[in-house]
Structures are given as C-alpha cells and as structure tokens.
Chains A and B, each alone.
Chain A
Amino acid sequence: MRLRAVVVLGLVLLLSLVVQTTLIAQLRYFVPDLVALIVILTALTRIRPEAVLGVAFVAGVTVDLVGSTLVGLRGVVYALVAYVALRTRDRAEIGRVFTALWAGGLTLLTVVLLVLIGLLFGEASVLGSQVMERLITIPLANALLAALLGPVLVRAVDRDTTALRFT
C-alpha cells in the first residue's frame, strides 16, 4: 500500500470516527456507521486485498478501543465484511445506484453480524436500545452516503480522477 493512500485512508478513518462519536451520535433519524462505510468503500480502491482486510480489522479494533464494547468484536466483523466486499466489488462498479445498494447490503450484514457475534460474547446491547430500528436506519443512511461519497473516496485514495465515473 502506498504511503499516500495510507495517509489519506488513516485521516479519513480518524475523521469519520470523530464525527461518528460526536455529531452522528446526536442525530436521531440519520445514523450512518461511517467507519463501516469507509471500510466497505476501501474495497473499491486499488489497495491490495490483504491490506484492505488489515485496514478493516485495525479500524474495527480502534472503534472498540474508543468505545466500551468488547475489544476485537468490530475488528472481526469489519474484516469479515471487507472480505465479502472484496469478493463482490464488481457489482458496485456498475453504477451509482448499485454502489449504494451494495454498500447498504454490506452495512446490513455488518450490523447483523455485530448483534449476533456480540450476543455470543455477552455484548447484549451493542447497538443500543433500538436494535430493530437501527437494523434499518444504519444501512439506509450508509447506502445514501455511499452513493454520494463512494466515488470521491476512491478517487482520493487511488489518485485517479476517472475512478467510478459512471456514465
């Protein structure tokens, strides 16, 4: 992975973590999971697949360390979702709507895995009190943001202005 891509991705992840824990935490209806979204969109870049998995794992563990959940829970989930994203990324490159649907579906997988693996390890309230509501709102918000931000992020990381330029 190139140094520039590391720096850009690191800054974007740190920014998304800070925004997630301050601004997004105060919103009621628009509640994306920004870090998960960045992890999913990273699969669309030209970064080596092994590095994408590493980034996903480190990002997840960082979120766990900042919060109160079991350390490693999000690391495992984000790595699994990044793997599925890498295996299915060609579906996201068809058009903007497909990027949104793909990211939304993977976000749904993320929150479902978080709940299931969290329950296995005794983390009963990993999504807070409105679990069912969040199972819908988080993927929807991420799908919307993926359509808007996906191409921008990929172009910034890859330094390629033609990436994901749908016609």
Chain B
Amino acid sequence: MLSRSSGDRTLPTLITLLVVGVLLMTFDVRLQGGGVVGVLRSGVQSIVNPLQEVASYVVDPVADMFESLSNVASLREENLVLREELAEAEAAIVAVQDQLARLELLEQLYEMEASGAELGRTVANVTGRPDQVALVIDKGTADGIAPGQPVVDTNGYVVGTIEHVTAGSATVVPITAGPSGVTVLVGEQVGTLMPQIGSDDMRLEILEARGPVLVGDRVVTSAASVDFPAGLPVGEVLFDAAPSLDVLNSWVRPYFDLDTLRIVVVLAWPPDPIGAVGGEEPVGVTTTTLTSVPDEDLGE
C-alpha cells in the first residue's frame, strides 16, 4: 500500500492528469476533431497504421483459417446456398444487361447524353479496429480519400463515413455509432435513422408520416441527406408501425455486418469536395445535379 507521506505526489499527479484529460476532451468536442487534436491524431495514426497493416497481413489468414475450421460443418451447406445465389445473380445480370441495352437505344433515340455522374470509388482493406466502434482502412489522402466521404461495403450497403484521414490510412465511423443520424427514404416517406446505445439496430423516426411502414420495407438514403448520395441501400424495417399524430417510430436493421467487414468501398462524394466547399457552386447544387434525383421526382 502506498504511504501517505509528504513525498507522496500521487494524488496531485492524478488530479493534474485528470484536468489535462478533461481539457483534451473539451478541445476535441469544441474543435470537432480538427485543430491540434486532429494533427495529433494524424501523427499517431501515421505511426501505428503501418504496424497494423503488417499485423493484419499476418493475422487475417490465420483468423480466416480458424473461422473456417470452426464452421466446417456448415460450409458444404453454405456452398450450396451460395451456388444457388450465384446462379440467380448471373440471371439478374443478364436481365440488367438487356435493360441497359434498351436504355442505351432509348437514349440514342431521344438524343440524350450520359450525365457523367458516375461516382469515383476507392476499394480499401480494413486493417484495424482501434476500438469496438471504428474501422481503419489502408487508403488515405494519397488515394483521394477525404473526411466525410461515404463508405459502403462490397454489396453497396451503407457502412458509414470517413472521419479522420492520414496520408496512407483513414478511420471509418459506422452509421450505427456515428454522432449524427442518416436521412433515409422508406417508400416515399423521408425519415431519420438514429444510432442507439448498445444496439446494432437503429431507430427510425418519420415526421409528417403519411402512411405505415411494414416489416421488411427497404430503407435507402434520401436525396435530402447531406452525408450520402441518394438511393444507397441502408437496411430494412424490423417492425410494422403506423403514424401517430403525424410521427412514426420504428426500428431498422442495417444490412452491413461490421464483424465480417474486410473490404470497403469509399465513394468520392461530393464529387468535388474542394469545389463544393470553396467553389462558387453551393454543395447542395453540386451534389444534387450530378448524383441524385430528388425524392419528389422518384415519387412521380
């Protein structure tokens, strides 16, 4: 046990550290991750991320092997299901190719030009999970990644947004843990998805609700969202719910699975973040024109 002699400076040291810690937290909240704290974060991540990349290069195959061994009984069954899904997906591709050819023909007939609205995509590996919340990926500013860009998984399901970026890495905060909600579209109704403490599911709130939502209804990002391009699949409704005094509340289970994410795709959206921030055109005009169709138009 420590003695409480006059030479014991443990308590003053602790108090000093607590004050410094609270000041750091306050700075981080007030500066919203930027400023000195942002520089510190980038510096530390630049040092640790190469080590994480090396470690994950070694760890991932081993983890995969153990995962496969533990699931060996169900692998055969899973393979059969996957084969069926593959056959269905190939049939769907053929159907889409037919539709694309038809679309191209119609565009030629009406003398329409391609909008050039294709989003840039950067595929990145998940190299670390620094806490139980965020993901670290192996692409950074050198690859065109910028804070705020949307991140989806390989199926195109919304995962989250980029929070911090260094030259060779970036931190992704999932929508289930982010501080702000996601503006979404359920049918023709615009609502907000909010993360919940201790849950992978998200609360759906629709103000000015006009109709019910049903179990399994698909939830996609809305054109009103400032963080995501419109139309990205987010999840599905978990419970039937009807409006009460114009407000509707339900729950949504996101499609993405944080535990199994190894590869993600970062979307270059807004397409020109520098122009969007400092240029002549406002952000909303740029993004809407190039990437999305307003909800009203979708509804018609």
- Which A residues have a C-beta under 8 Å from some C-beta of B? 14, 17-23, 25-26, 28, 49-50, 53-54, 57, 60-63, 65-73, 75-76, 79-80, 83, 86-90, 119, 121-122, 124-132, 134
Chief secondary structure at chain A's binding surface: helix
Which A residues are CB-close (under 8 A) to B55?
18-19, 21-23
> Cβ of B173 < 8 Å from any Cβ of A?
yes
Given contacts A26-B63, A124-B197, contact A63 B2 (CB under 8 A): no
15 other contacts beyond A50-B9, A70-B28, with CB at 8 A cut-off? Answer: A18-B51, A22-B52, A22-B128, A28-B259, A49-B10, A50-B13, A53-B13, A54-B13, A68-B134, A68-B171, A71-B28, A75-B17, A79-B17, A126-B131, A129-B200
Instruction: Report Cα–Cα, A67/B9, bound state, in Å.
Output: 31
Given contacts A21-B52, A57-B21, contact A87 B132 (CB under 8 A): no
Whether the pair A87, B131 counts as a contact (CB closer than 8 A) is no
Closest residue of chain A to B178, judged by CB?
A125
Closest residue of chain A to B129, judged by CB?
A25
Interchain CB contact (< 8 A) of B128 among A25, A28, A130: A25
Whether the pair A65, B41 counts as a contact (CB closer than 8 A) is yes
Which A residues are CB-close (under 8 A) to B177?
68, 124-125, 128
Whether the pair A22, B56 counts as a contact (CB closer than 8 A) is yes
> Cβ of B75 < 8 Å from any Cβ of A?
no
Chain B positions 1-37 with a Cβ under 8 Å from a chain A Cβ: 1-2, 8-11, 13-14, 17-18, 20-25, 27-29, 37
Closest residue of chain A to B40, judged by CB?
A65
Which A residues are CB-close (under 8 A) to B299?
none
Which A residues are CB-close (under 8 A) to B29?
70, 121-122
Closest residue of chain A to B36, judged by CB?
A71
Closest 10 pairs (CB-CB, A-B): A128-B132, A72-B24, A67-B130, A25-B129, A76-B21, A68-B134, A67-B131, A65-B44, A72-B25, A131-B198
Instruction: Report Cα–Cα, A53/B164, bound state, in Å.
Output: 28
Instruction: Report Cα–Cα, A89/B161, bound state, in Å.
Output: 43
Which B residues are CB-close (under 8 A) to A17?
48
Interchain CB contact (< 8 A) of A69 among B129, B131, B176: B131
Whether the pair B130, A21 counts as a contact (CB closer than 8 A) is yes
- Over the window 34-63 of chain B, the binary record of Cβ atoms lying under 8 Å from chain A Cβ atoms (1 yes, 0 no) is 000100110011001001100110011001
Closest residue of chain B to A138, judged by CB?
B132
Which A residues are CB-close (under 8 A) to B2?
49, 86-87
Whether the pair B199, A129 counts as a contact (CB closer than 8 A) is yes
Given contacts A21-B128, A23-B55, A72-B22, contact A130 B198 (CB under 8 A): yes
